Amino acid sequence: MKPVAIVTGASRGIGRGVALELARTHSVIGTYRGRRDAAESLRAETGCEILQCDVSSGADREGLIGFARERFGRLDLLVNNAGMAPRVRRDILEATEESFDELISVNLKGPYFLTQLAARWMAEQGAGRIVFVSSISAYTASVNRGEYCISKAGLSMAAALWATRLAACGVKVFEIRPGVVRTDMIAAVEKIYEERIAGGLLPQGRMGEARDVALAVRAIADGLLDYSTGQVLNVDGGFHLRSL
């Protein structure tokens, strides 16, 4: 039997890239929130299971884990990828509580408590791997989307907390921090990023692609980093480097 992976937010962007990669070796459950057409396209291409799931909903999280138990009876890998940007970018002097609450609920609370459910199951199994897909925004201040930065900074701490708690249970936890990655999330500002990259923003000189993140997940899924629980993988073209 193939190992089983859950990839949240799998219908588009980074999540789709991760699901495509994992489907070569895993039975994949890919979740989506609104774009069923994109999810159906993923299923047609990979044969993976798809399930509508809003990770901010406790009932949906329970339903996702219940589906995995019933369908496969095991869980080897959870990739917490689902997330969202602010619906409107606003300076923090003008930002709204509604946007803050939405991003914290989707980007932080959802994966934190989904991990709780998965971690209990994996601890029973005595094995498993969990990935949190955060962002360079976990440590990079963008004052026109402060709620996003705060949600990702919290997610980074969540990864450290779960890595610490689960190490003795045989469950390894990792954080992947993508940089500027070409997805529909940045479509409105993609040209600006391309200009900044051309101007030297990234040492490696190109924008990231979903596959770059997927290959980092591949290394984790294959057990190549099993003695490195809690590790942060910067998939950012060298953005995190400081140089003079």
The token duo for 216 is 């980092």
Marked catalytic residue, from 112, 139, 148, 227: 148
Q: Can you give the three-state secondary structure of the chain, one letter per residue?
A: CCCEEEECCCCCHHHHHHHHHHCCCCEEEEEECCCHHHHHHHHHHHCCEEEECCCCCHHHHHHHHHHHHHHCCCCCEEEECCCCCCCCCCCCCCCCHHHHHHHHHHHHHHHHHHHHHHHHHHHHHCCEEEEEECCHHHCCCCCCCHHHHHHHHHHHHHHHHHHHHHHHHCEEEEEEEECCECCHHHHHHHHHHHHHHHCCCCCCCCCECHHHHHHHHHHHHCCCCCCCCCCEEEECCCCCCCCC
Question: Does residue 32 carry a catalytic annotation?
Answer: no
* Catalytic site positions: 148
